[in-house]
Structure 1
Amino acid sequence: MIKKLGTVTLSVALAGSLAACSSTKTDTAASPAASAKTSTGQTSAAPAKKDKTKLVYWTLDRHDMDYIKSVVQKFNDTNGENIEVEMVVKTEDFNQAIDLAFASGQAPDIIRVKEGTIQPFAAKGYLKPIDSYVTDAMKKEFPIIDDFNRIGGKLYSLPNYGSTIRLVYNKELFAKAGIAAPPKTLKEMVDDAKKITAVGKANGSYGFALNFKSPESALGRSARAIAEVSGFGGFGYDFKTAKFDFTGYKDIMQSFKQMVDDGSTLPGMESLDIDPLRAQFAEGKIGMYISYSSEPGVYANQFPAKIEWAAAPVPTVDGTIKGASSFLGGQWLSISSTTKNADQAWKFMQFMYQDDVLKTYHEKGFGISMVPAVSSVAKKPDIKGIEGFLPNGNDGTWPLQPTVTVEGMKYNDAFVKYMLSGGNLDQITQDLNKRYNDALDKAVAKGDVKVTPNPSFDPMKLMMK
């Protein structure tokens, strides 16, 4: 059962150099020439302006950028305390950019955190606990979940929205290829990709694609979801044994490789980021891909779709559902541990977490609210394509796997290398299991993580009912 869960110069940097952060700017004090005369003819200094506090907010979210930019601007215009927030959007290598920012003393004041980053960011000391700021009323309103919001007994973030993962497909190409319904098995997905390519290649359309320039991003939105609905931990972790076991990826990666070998994938997809992929899909060049529930907003606002498209549940290995499909979320904003303006950063967070901000976020289709007080009053998102992404009885929240630092190639990179270049998949899987479990044993021995086998773990019981 799922738990219920700028500025004067607002800038948006899509990728680039580090911005100077946590700076406080003092306006020039009034000069004698600017002093005012009293009714008695005496001069008195004009009241000095309150010092301006500059905050920097880093996010990796591109799909909601225009809306969030407008909310940030409203905060800057109305906060009454001369606080100015600069919003920086980094769509590439966000985690590495955060590491570099902290290492160089240029960390942002507010950070967008996700289920895959909040634990390692907290472990590295990047995040400031917000327990002293959060009121009892807020604790009642926002569903706080251990490991998702509260880590090691300390609260670092509050939820906003969740994301489902679905197969996104071009209805027109499916019809042209004579495909009556989206695939329910991996074999059907491979076959459908081949059929679509056969009828579309002459016009530059191919059956399948993913943003393989970033293996972590590509497999995190696709293979992870297929594994989970097939009953396997999406990050290779087996909650029953408390060990890593990547054998659940074998059928998935063989199918992905088969589509590559068949010539059914968009040429050059290994160098595609997600936005260029979306642009290609909007033009009708991709038959299907797998991604998050942010896609309707993308095709309504960012890349207006020129084709008819829809979303459907991701396929399973054999057509049998054996686990919950991830309903991702539970975190949103956190305060940097190095900020010199924590109180002002919290004031910004309070503004962002207002019901009307979160309600509009949901209704515009940027994400599905995980805050009961919001979801109970918000209207169904009025945006094309959202229907296929709305939570159903098969969606649910998986527990978080332990975070380890593995020596050598990460599993995402190893599997994508196999998919593109070949190799012995059994040996690759065995090597990953050994290296990841070695890293896990070291982390447990050092006390960095705690793991407990759960022989009765049942991924079917994670589903929302």
Structure 2
Amino acid sequence: MKQRVLFTSLSLVLAGSMAACSNGPAASGTGSKPAGGEKTKISYWTGDRHDSEYIKEIVDKFNATNQDNIQVELVIKGDDFDQALDLSFQTNEPPDVIRVKENTIQTFYKKGFLAPIDEFLNDDMKKKFPEMANLNTFEGKRYSLPNYGTTMRLIYNKELFAKAGIQSPPTTLAELVEDAKKLTQAGKATGAYGFAQNFKNPGSAFGRSSRVIAEVSGFGGFGYDFKTAKYDFTGMKPIIEAFKQIKDDGSMLPGVESLDIDPLRAQFAEGKIGMYLSFSAEAGVYQSQFPAKIDWAAAPVPSIDGKFNGASGFLGGQWLALSAKTAKKDAAWKFMQYMYGDTILQQYQEKGFGISMVPSVSAAAKKPEVKGIDGFLPNKYDGVWPVTPSVAVQGMKSDDAFFKYMLSGGDLDAVIKDLNTRYNAALEAAVAKGDVKAAPMPDFNPANLAGKYAK
């Protein structure tokens, strides 16, 4: 018997019955229906949990109404999504449809996990859904279509801020450190702390926090300098130092080393965390997944020194992708075309799960009636950054190295020098192999990226 992929306790498997709906765009390729009412079973894997109830609802509807006897198994995973996907391809049991993100699609493409979808796209679809190089299109072929984008903000407990006597959210790193201290002092009686991030997965934690602080300050959020086409993590130094200071001050929630994002959200909803940084998905989270028992809001992230020399990453450009190993491509596409229907995409924004990156959908969708969503709507500081080259660095990754410094201290300058050396060596090797392209952009000005999505 073929060995099954083992799912972690964070995985949630949801199944039903399904079929193509009239509100989706027309497909150019179809397969014959199974004989005798037999179901064509496909699986869809996603790492998103903020929209899980809505996705379950629309998958169930597809399963119950489609005319092609297609049945989708919905698998919702946690921060182990990437590792589980790798394992599924190794054991030849991958999903048929894969949720891809701006920080994973390039990697999945290079690993050969994704199939191009050009054969299914008619002219109307090509016009409707923006083509974004290195975000959903590689070497002239499309691998996904956009749904929504996510803005990045500081999420804060208004009640604890008022109790601490803080009039407004921090706009500098110095204020972030000082406010975390004040919030912790004010929350001592109830066991609340000033700051937290989900450091069980340092990549996820820094991707929600140090990344965007660097970006609004004018530095590449992944340590890559687009002007020189080299890695330079120097811009991260004051940010990591500030996070370490918050930890050393006792202003960070104890146990962040093992804190995943959902437990963090649960703690925030209970009033145990003063502030943290994350995506616009949090608005939907505190309405349905973890109903907030506190008054909260979202604010622009602080920059290093209060000056905004860049843009806060507006992330998106992709959503669903076909598995390169699916044996049921036509059925999988019918599910995808259903998911990309106008009604579903409009409801996705209206329910507050994300901000549409499809112009026709954004124009038709109503403003989300979701608590806190106003703070996440695109502003003059939001913008889409170019994609950082994906390299296979030898040794400890930058996120792990920075978190190790936060916990244990040491020489941060030496850490940064080592990262620069190893990441640039990996970049040079990847360029030499032809795996990535990296050319200097001498006229690149990150401040010019901002404001293009503000209404």
How far residue 18 of structure 1 moved from its aligned partner, in angstroms, is: 10
SS in 2 for 1:376: helix
Does the alignment pair 1:104 with 2:91?
Answer: yes
In the alignment, residue 45 of structure 2 is paired with which amino acid?
W
Q: Name 2:10's counterpart in structure 1.
A: 15
Contact 1:19 / 1:106 at 8 angstroms: preserved in 2?
Answer: no
Q: Distance in 2 between matches of 1:204 and 1:262?
A: 16
In the alignment, residue 74 of structure 1 is paired with which amino acid?
K
Contact 1:226 / 1:316 at 8 angstroms: preserved in 2?
Answer: yes
SS in 2 for 1:316: coil
Does the alignment pair 1:69 with 2:75?
Answer: no
Deviation per CA, 1:139-176: give whole Å up to 9, x if none: 11111111111011110000000000000000111111
The TM-score with structure 2 as length reference comes to 0.92
SS in 1 for 2:285: helix
Q: Distance in 1 between matches of 2:407 and 2:371?
A: 34
Does the alignment pair 1:423 with 2:374?
Answer: no
Q: Distance in 2 between matches of 1:13 and 1:353?
A: 29
Does the alignment pair 1:337 with 2:332?
Answer: no
Q: Distance in 1 between matches of 2:90 and 2:141?
A: 23
Contact 2:11 / 2:78 at 8 angstroms: preserved in 1?
Answer: no
CA gap of 1:289–1:408, structure 2 versus 1, over 3 A, is same
Alignment of 1:394-409 (within 5 A): 394-409=381-396
Q: Name 1:433's counterpart in structure 2.
A: 420
Contact 1:18 / 1:106 at 8 angstroms: preserved in 2?
Answer: no
In the alignment, residue 300 of structure 1 is paired with which amino acid?
Q
Q: Name 1:365's counterpart in structure 2.
A: 352
Q: Distance in 1 between matches of 2:253 and 2:216?
A: 26
Q: Distance in 1 between matches of 2:14 and 2:168?
A: 48
Contact 2:157 / 2:296 at 8 angstroms: preserved in 1?
Answer: yes
Q: Distance in 2 between matches of 1:174 and 1:421?
A: 30
Q: Distance in 1 between matches of 2:292 and 2:419?
A: 39
Contact 2:310 / 2:447 at 8 angstroms: preserved in 1?
Answer: yes
The runs of 5 or more residues in structure 2 that have no matched partner are: 1-6, 16-33
RMSD (Å), alpha carbons:
1.6
Does the alignment pair 1:49 with 2:36?
Answer: yes
Deviation per CA, 1:416-464: give whole Å up to 9, x if none: 1111111110000000000000000110111101110011100011112
The runs of 5 or more residues in structure 1 that have no matched partner are: 1-11, 21-46
SS in 2 for 1:432: helix
Does the alignment pair 1:147 with 2:134?
Answer: yes
SS in 2 for 1:49: helix
Q: Distance in 1 between matches of 2:382 and 2:79?
A: 28
Q: Name 2:374's counterpart in structure 1.
A: 387
Contact 1:166 / 1:312 at 8 angstroms: preserved in 2?
Answer: yes
Q: Distance in 2 between matches of 1:308 and 1:379?
A: 24
The share of aligned pairs that are identical, in percent, is: 65
Contact 1:13 / 1:88 at 8 angstroms: preserved in 2?
Answer: no
CA gap of 1:327–1:444, structure 2 versus 1, over 3 A, is same
Contact 1:185 / 1:316 at 8 angstroms: preserved in 2?
Answer: yes
Does the alignment pair 1:227 with 2:208?
Answer: no
How far residue 50 of structure 1 moved from its aligned partner, in angstroms, is: 3.5
Deviation per CA, 1:36-82: give whole Å up to 9, x if none: xxxxxxxxxxx961331110000000000000111111111111111
Contact 1:161 / 1:367 at 8 angstroms: preserved in 2?
Answer: yes
**Count of equivalent residues:** 428
Larger of the two Rg values belongs to structure? 1
Deviation per CA, 1:89-119: give whole Å up to 9, x if none: 0112211111111011110000000001111
Q: Distance in 2 between matches of 1:202 and 1:407?
A: 46
The TM-score with structure 1 as length reference comes to 0.90
Q: Distance in 2 between matches of 1:454 and 1:190?
A: 34
SS in 2 for 1:145: coil
Deviation per CA, 1:333-378: give whole Å up to 9, x if none: 0000000000110000000000000000000000001111111011
Q: Distance in 1 between matches of 2:375 and 2:132?
A: 27
How far residue 15 of structure 1 moved from its aligned partner, in angstroms, is: 2.9
Q: Distance in 2 between matches of 1:19 and 1:98?
A: 17
Contact 2:13 / 2:75 at 8 angstroms: preserved in 1?
Answer: no
Does the alignment pair 1:304 with 2:291?
Answer: yes
User: 1:90 aligned to 35, 53, 77, which one?
Assistant: 77
SS in 2 for 1:365: coil
User: 2:249 aligned to 262, 266, 269, which one?
Assistant: 262
Q: Distance in 1 between matches of 2:62 and 2:390?
A: 35
Contact 2:99 / 2:320 at 8 angstroms: preserved in 1?
Answer: yes
SS in 1 for 2:120: coil
User: 1:190 aligned to 177, 198, 214, which one?
Assistant: 177
Q: Distance in 1 between matches of 2:279 and 2:107?
A: 22
Q: Distance in 2 between matches of 1:357 and 1:325?
A: 27
Q: Name 1:202's counterpart in structure 2.
A: 189
SS in 1 for 2:385: coil
Contact 1:13 / 1:89 at 8 angstroms: preserved in 2?
Answer: no
SS in 1 for 2:251: coil
In the alignment, residue 390 of structure 2 is paired with which amino acid?
T
Q: Distance in 1 between matches of 2:433 and 2:14?
A: 35
Q: Distance in 1 between matches of 2:62 and 2:84?
A: 26
Q: Distance in 2 between matches of 1:411 and 1:292?
A: 21
Q: Name 1:446's counterpart in structure 2.
A: 433
Q: Distance in 2 between matches of 1:100 and 1:19?
A: 20
Q: Name 1:125's counterpart in structure 2.
A: 112
Contact 2:12 / 2:75 at 8 angstroms: preserved in 1?
Answer: no
Q: Name 1:328's counterpart in structure 2.
A: 315
Contact 1:187 / 1:255 at 8 angstroms: preserved in 2?
Answer: yes
Does the alignment pair 1:217 with 2:204?
Answer: yes
Q: Distance in 2 between matches of 1:438 and 1:323?
A: 27
Q: Distance in 1 between matches of 2:13 and 2:201?
A: 21
Contact 1:161 / 1:371 at 8 angstroms: preserved in 2?
Answer: yes
Does the alignment pair 1:162 with 2:157?
Answer: no
Does the alignment pair 1:252 with 2:247?
Answer: no
Q: Distance in 2 between matches of 1:249 and 1:451?
A: 21
In the alignment, residue 65 of structure 2 is paired with which amino acid?
T
In the alignment, residue 397 of structure 2 is paired with which amino acid?
K
SS in 2 for 1:63: coil
Q: Name 2:343's counterpart in structure 1.
A: 356
In the alignment, residue 357 of structure 1 is paired with which amino acid?
I
Q: Distance in 2 between matches of 1:116 and 1:439?
A: 18
